[in-house]
Structures are given as structure tokens and as C-alpha cells.
Amino acid sequence: MATHLPTTSVADIVRLGPVIPVLAFETAEQGEHVSRALYAGGVKVLEITLRTAAGLDAIQRASRIAPDIAVGVGTITKPEQCALAKQAGAQFGVSPGLTREMHDASIEAGLPLLPGVMTPSDIILAMELGYEIVKFFPAVPAGGIAMLNAFHGPFPTLKFCPTGGITPESATNFLALPNVVCVGGSWLTPKAALAAQDWAEVTRLARAASELSRPVR
């Protein structure tokens, strides 16, 4: 069994790669194949969501692939999911939004959290709770690059991982922003490739994503 990375915070995790794939699997077996294919392409951070029943089992399998892989749980919408994900082997959590109850549950579970924000009020709550890196979701529908530029004025120290509607073509423009540390995306696992079990295609897309440039900060 692989030993988990000694990551202690979301800041450690987002430095591992410019793109965090957002994943939803039909089965745990599919999840393991895809996770291995992504890792073979140089992607070392995975966000496996709880949008399907296979999520927790897929997290457990993916966390055993290699000692330098960081597997997170995505789509946390209930506080109790933090402990369940931690038990399954998740090293961090990602949520579409944030409540104080969810924050407390993540601390109790020992699960570093990347909370979702969309508005200035969301951001102020996150900063009050001590977050320095947040997920901007849904990024493109909520204003995309223009909104992130607008946030930089009143919140100059806050860093973002925009997710939602980002493409391989737009990812570089997001990564060039001074307040963006990485992006989340689902384009690394197209439905056609998964249906055909074309793991080589997943690895190809992962390699291209892992080579995207981002400013050194």
C-alpha cells in the first residue's frame, strides 16, 4: 500500500500541478483505471467527487496508486461527508460552497478543505474562517476571468482555484492571473474516452494538462 504524501495543507496540494481533474465515476473499477491513466500522464492531484455512489470506493483505490499522489474528495455538501472521505483515504476536500458547520467538520476530521465561493460575501466568510485559498465556482458562469480580476482589488491576498466551464484553450488564460494558483477541469476525462475505455487518451490529455505553464509565485 502506498504511503500518503506528507501534505499538510491545501497550499501544499495545489502546488503539485496546474490542473486538478474533477472526476465522477460509474464504478470503482473505472475510477482506478482512470486514476492510473491520469497519474501516468503526470497528474498527481485528483478530485474524485461524491456525485456518484462509487465515489468513496474510487477514492480508496486511487489513494493506493502511488506515494506521491494526492487524492481529494469533491462535491462535499454535508458536514458528515468530511469524516467519511477521510476514512476512505482522501487527503483533502473540495466543496461547491461553505458553511461554518462544514468548516468545523473538516477540522474535526483532519481534512484540509478547499471551499467554494462565488460572491464577495462568500469570500468574506471564507477569510473570516482563515482560508487563504478557495475554489471559485462555477467559474465561467459566475464571471470567469473578469470576475477574478475584479476580486483581486478588494481581496489582494486571496488565491483561487477556478472550476466550472474551463477548457484546455482557456486554462492558460486563467493560470496567468496573479490570484490563480491552479484550475479545476473535467476535460481530461471525456465521456467518449471513458465509454471506450481508452485510457491512453486520458493519459495523453493528462500529459498536456500537466505541461500547462503557470507563473512562478
Domains of the chain: 10-210 (3.20.20.70)
Please state, in angstroms and rounded to a whole number, the distance separating the CA atoms of residues 144 and 88. Answer: 33
Name the catalytic one among 32, 44, 86, 135.
Answer: 135
Closest by CA to 176, choosing from 205, 116, 216, 208, is 216
| Known catalytic membership, residue 44 | no
Per-residue pLDDT of the chain (217 residues; tens, 9 = 90+): 344 444 569 999 999 999 999 999 999 999 999 999 999 999 999 999 999 999 999 999 999 999 999 999 999 999 999 999 999 999 999 999 999 999 999 999 999 999 999 999 999 999 999 999 999 999 999 999 999 999 999 999 999 999 999 999 999 999 999 999 999 999 999 999 999 999 999 999 999 999 997 665 5
| Known catalytic membership, residue 47 | yes
Name the catalytic one among 47, 80, 108, 159.
Answer: 47
Q: pLDDT, tens digit, for every residue of 134-192? A: 999 999 999 999 999 999 999 999 999 999 999 999 999 999 999 999 999 999 999 99
Q: Please check whether residue 44 is in contact with residue 69, taking contact to mean a CB–CB distance below 8 angstroms.
A: yes
